[in-house]
Structure 1
Amino acid sequence: MQKKVLIIASSFAFGRPMALRIRAITELFKACGWKVIVYSDVITLEDKKEYDYTMFNDIKTYGLGRQIKGFKKIVLPFLYKRRISNILEIEKPALVFTNSLYDRFFITRKLVKSCPLILESCEWYDPSTYKYGKFSHHYILHTICWKWGYIHVDGVLAISRLIESHYKKIVKNVIRIPTIVDSINDEARVKVNTSKEKKLRLLFAGSLARTKDSIRPYFEALDILEDYANTIFFDICGVSEEEIINHLGYELYNKYKKQIRVYGKIPQNKIPELYSNCDFGIFFRPNQRSSHAGFSTKLGEGMSCGTPFIVNDTGDISLYIKNGINGYIVKNDKDIANVLKEVLVSSDYERSEMREKALLTAKKYFYFKAYIREFEMFINRVMEG
């Protein structure tokens, strides 16, 4: 009989970056011969209906049936406990794989007694991530789980070297897999033809979190570029115009607003098309623990469409982005200005080569199929242990 794995996720199957990672992980399990069941608080499909149960790609998918917001989230762990208990009784999985849900991890650990438990770890939060810092209840719950909860799992899937090295000291079975996608566009645009008028279109797809992603340095670089500045255009999705103004400030926004196209929130399945139509993906992250512990979904999402990136070096980015080969690593606005100028004077052939190398990098490192054998060995060790 085919073994079952229950994947407990915060988001599935579309909508958030984590949803994309979980889709790829379901494909990994299926490639290793497992039957996959998924639980997600909110099941986000293209029809935007709210489900308590549905099928997605032959995967039984359980949810709560409604989205819980604001102060009502206080009841979420209780609803979760009842729902997971019911799923475990019905499905009787041989393995449970869970996101790092710090608000209910101890509930999961208590419920999962008859089979191994694997933790998916892709965040090591810094206090500055939260409005109230170390006094935030989110940070307190995360810290409690980090010190006394997560260490008792049977295996860890880590997204970065920093998280991997932490868990290797305390958990027997650890594997590192960076951001991964469930599909690669083999017909991605790699040819560049800018013979008439050289312009660059940069894409930011995400959220401008208080201590996470920033795009301000790319606009500050335009001030340095002078004559080249009016050849740089920005496509921005995931945030509103108001959020961009708050992020950049009125002066910087007004100066370049004619070069900004704001899409707002768009369906996740539309993002690859935006990447394909843009020349580079961009984001800039602060030098702090949470940046080095995580790994941006944007790299896998964009490079799988043949789109190179201009980013700063946080986490494991330098393992995959090679300057001038498949993208650029920058330190500040001056670096960004130099890179943009270099790209603008480069040939169509050179830029096409970079897009092709970006796609090859995605196939080698950011596609789930690259990790099937390694993942299967990891799962076997967990099950044998």
Structure 2
Amino acid sequence: MTRRSRWIACAGPFLFPWGEAGSRRVYGLVASLAAAGYDVVVAGGGPEPRTMTPLPGVDGPGSVSHIGLAEKPPPEAGPLGSSIQTLLRWGQRTVRWLDAQPTKPSHVLVHGGQAQYMFHLQRWCRRNNVPLIVDVVDWFNGRYVRGGYLGPLHASMKLAMHYYYPRCDGVIAISSYLEAHYRRAGMPILRVPPTLDVKNLTVDARPTVDDSYPLTLVYAGNPHGNKKDLLGTVIEAVGRVQRDGASIELQIYGPTLGEVRNLFDGRSLPDGVRCLGRVPQAEVASALQGADFSVLIRRPERATDAGFSTKFCESLASGTPVIANLTSDMGRYLRPNREGLICRDHTLAEVTEAFRAAARLSGEQRGLMRQAARSQALESFDYRAYAEPLGRFFRHWD
């Protein structure tokens, strides 16, 4: 039997190596595969780079290179051009690129693209006898996508989830919810949470916080694009705790001041709520490290339980404990009064009580939580921890 080549093609309409949540997810997976000894080529959706370019900074005997295939519609395409490309042509450029390679990959790993990508890639993989592995990170909900439940994007997502994904050769699932769902289909499956380069993330050593310092909370994200985040509830809770006499500050990164006020029904924001706008992804870690806690309050529903917040992992990696209600698999990694504080549910009363508990903590207690958060991230979210299981999973088809 002829041994397969040892390079993996990773494809999808995501920006790489940075630019969106999917970028960070893919970076963690391909870094793990490189650490397992595979050479990985990421065929991303952006226009750059136009030629194969090595990605530095990845540990392991393998390597990561990337190329942009411009599958993602450019901003100047407009609504009609974007719809034609995403609904009719997604995946075609990737298949042409695969055909042009001098040797076939040992595997194709796909992230995103829904039914359109899956249609083209499944045909190519079957024709060329190459196993197709899909990375599944969401249970799509029509209320959160453009066009709603009756729109073509939601239909494409549902078709991918229920028809194309179960017909792949294997699944990488971001959560135990998705793992259980696709395991029922009887296919090879591996659960891998969001991962990143925790080991090489520089964490500033903070001295023990003076008890008189204000409690600093941080939210980083886009509550308009991700309606699962209940930022309005967080702001209301901050106002209530301030009225109790506690010194508390909430720093909001991502939305503009106007967008935040709209979430707060147009009312004036409480004192201490600071809207700092968008910052480059590389600066998010610094913003997190400057806070005592990050805050992640989400509506409990199937879409939330099936996904897994990258922000949660990034916060622990930065040594910043988290205040959150438990959704998805967070309960595996967030222990009460260790890596953070747990809200019993997502209601205003419970979030307010969690903030009051945080304000009562001493500087020493906050410092111990920071250490526990960082330790948990090194053990659970560093990409190197998944090199062996991912390598073993992909060798199933060698």
State the 1:364 CA deviation.
1.1
Q: Within 5 A, what are the aligned runs for 1:187-206?
A: 187-189=202-204, 191-195=206-210, 197-206=212-221
Aligned residue type for 2:6: K
Aligned mate of 2:280, from 267, 277, 280 = 267
Equivalence map 1:89-108=2 (5 Å): 89-90=100-101, 91-102=103-114, 103-108=116-121
Give the counterpart of 1:18 among 1, 6, 22.
Answer: 22
Q: What is the identity, as a one-letter code, of the residue corresponding to 2:265?
A: G
Q: CA deviation at 1:217?
A: 1.6
Partner of 1:240: 256
2:89 aligned to which of 72, 78, 82: 78
Task: Describe the SS at the equivalent of 1:281.
Answer: strand
Deviations 1:324-371 (A, max 9, x none): 111122122222222222222222111111000000110111111112
2:80 partner letter:
F
Shift of 1:211: 3.0
Change (3 A) 1:210 1:246: farther
Distance in 1, Cα, partners of 2:394 & 2:138: 21
Could you tell me whether the CA contact under 8 Å between 2:254 and 2:276 is conserved in 1? Answer: yes
Query: Match of 1:33?
Result: 37
Q: How many residues align?
A: 374
Q: Which runs of 5+ in 2 are unaligned?
A: 57-62
| Cα offset, 1:272, TM superposition | 0.6
Match of 1:68 in 2: 74
The residue that corresponds to 1:42 in the other structure is 46
Question: Offset of 1:171 from its aligned partner?
Answer: 4.2
- Which residue in 2 is equivalent to 1:162? 177
Q: 1:219 and 2:235 equivalent?
A: yes
Cα distance in 2 between the residues matched to 1:175 and 1:307: 28
Deviates more, 1:267-276 or 1:207-216: 207-216
Q: Distance in 2 between matches of 1:138 and 1:158?
A: 21
SS at match of 2:19: coil
CA positional deviation for 1:227? 4.1
Query: SS at the partner of 2:389?
Result: helix
Aligned to 1:233, what secondary structure does the other structure show? strand
Q: Which has the higher helix share?
A: 1
- 1:67-98 deviation line (CA, Å, top 9, x unaligned): 52433221245364134322343152111000
Question: For the structure 1 residues 180 and 344, does the alpha-carbon distance in structure 2 shift closer, same or farther, using more than 3 Å as the test?
Answer: same
The alignment yields a C-alpha RMSD, in angstroms, of 2.2
State the alpha-carbon separation in 2 of the partners of residues 325 and 196 from structure 1: 19
Is the CA contact 1:5–1:35 (under 8 Å) kept in the aligned structure 2?
Answer: yes
Deviations 1:264-311 (A, max 9, x none): 222111111111111111121112111010000001111111001111
CA distance in 1, matches of 2:232, 2:10: 37
Is residue 348 of structure 1 aligned with residue 363 of structure 2? yes
- Deviation for aligned residue 1:196: 6.5
Cα distance change, pair 325–79 in 1 and its aligned pair in 2 (3 A): closer
Q: 2:123 aligned with 1:118, yes or no?
A: no
SS in 2 for 1:178: coil
* Post-superposition offset of 1:229: 5.7
Length-normalised TM-score, structure 1: 0.90
Judging changes above 3 Å, is the alpha-carbon distance between structure 1 residues 176 and 210 closer, same or farther for their aligned structure 2 residues?
A: closer
**How far apart in 2 are the matches of 1:290 and 1:337?**
25
Counterpart CA distance in 1 for 2:214 and 2:262 is: 27
Find the counterpart in structure 2 of residue 281 from structure 1.
294
Mapped to 2, the partners of 1:327 and 1:235 lie a distance apart of 18
Structure 1 243/53 Cα, relative in aligned 2: closer, same or farther at 3 Å? farther
The separation in 1 between residues aligned to 2:334 and 2:241, in whole angstroms, is 24
Q: Do the aligned partners of 2:174 and 2:193 also contact (CA within 8 Å) in 1?
A: yes
Residue aligning to 1:361: 376
Q: 1:336 to 1:168 in 2, by over 3 A?
A: same
CA-CA distance at 1:187 after TM superposition? 4.9
Counterparts of residues 243-254 of structure 1 (less than 5 Å): 243-251=259-267, 254=268
Q: CA contact under 8 A between 1:2 and 1:35: conserved in structure 2? A: no
Q: In the alignment, residue 75 of structure 1 is paired with which amino acid? A: Q
Q: Deviations over 1:196-253 (max 9, x none)?
A: 63211111111113632121222221343244566221222222222212212221xx
Deviates more, 1:292-301 or 1:188-197: 188-197
Question: What is residue 47 of structure 1 aligned with on the other side?
Answer: none
